[in-house]
Amino acid sequence: MSLILNSHGSIAGSTILGKIFNKYWGIPIGYATLFFDLAVAIPSIFIIGFENTILTIFELYISAKITNIYLSKFGSKRVIQIISSHYKEISQALSNSLHQGLTLIEAHGFYSKKENPIIYLICTSHQMANIIPMINKIDTNALVVSDSIRSVRAAELYRIL
């Protein structure tokens, strides 16, 4: 199920409702789907019996946890911050390659006492594999800081990422 959701697909039913809850209220898709699946599974105790209902609930919970773990690892976005004296060349190369905007944040080095902007951009994990070698080709001494982020909200980013 995680592979399908990561590819922006659905297996119908509760996953569609889970994706809606995730989009508008930020609830992880696995837990939102679990909520709707439990609404069906719990009343089935009268049909399939107590033991089978408990096993079903256990399976649904494990599936929700695995879905959330997978989506947080492989479907997450990355934020990259780059500090380099070659910021103009790196910014231009990234913008041309990714076909998206990036932000230059004015910064002042406390130790070096130099003005040097920070390049700030959001990308996918797949894009990041291409970004790091591109930066190293321009400036091997660039400081690159990367972190996973859970949520990105912007009309243009939905289209780009």
Both tokens assigned to 42: 């719990």
- pTM for the full model? 0.60
Tens-digit pLDDT string for the chain (161 aa): 766 776 677 787 888 898 888 878 878 889 999 999 999 999 999 999 999 999 999 999 999 999 888 887 766 688 999 999 999 999 999 999 988 889 999 999 899 888 989 999 998 877 888 899 999 999 999 999 999 886 666 665 554 44
Count of structural domains, the chain? 2
- Do residues 90 and 64 share a domain? no
Q: From 5, 3, 146, 2, select the one nearest 77 (Cα to Cα).
A: 146
64 lies in the same domain as 115: no
114 and 70 within one domain: no
Same domain? For 93 and 124 the reply is: yes
Residue where one domain finishes, among candidates 40, 56, 74:
74
Among 105, 98, 100, 138, smallest CA distance to 120 is for 105
Strand order in the sheet with 118-124: 103-105, 118-124, 77-83, 143-149
Helix (H, G, I), strand (E, B) or coil at 43: helix
Read off the pLDDT of residues 111-153 as tens digits, 9 standing for 90 and up: 988 898 999 999 887 788 889 999 999 999 999 999 988 666 6
Verify that 58 and 115 share a domain, yes or no.
no
In this structure, are 63 and 6 located in the same domain? Answer: yes
Parent domain of 14:
2-74
pLDDT at res. 75:
64
Phi and psi (nearest 5°) for 108?
-130, 120
- Tell me if 35 sits within 8 A of 15, measured CB to CB: no
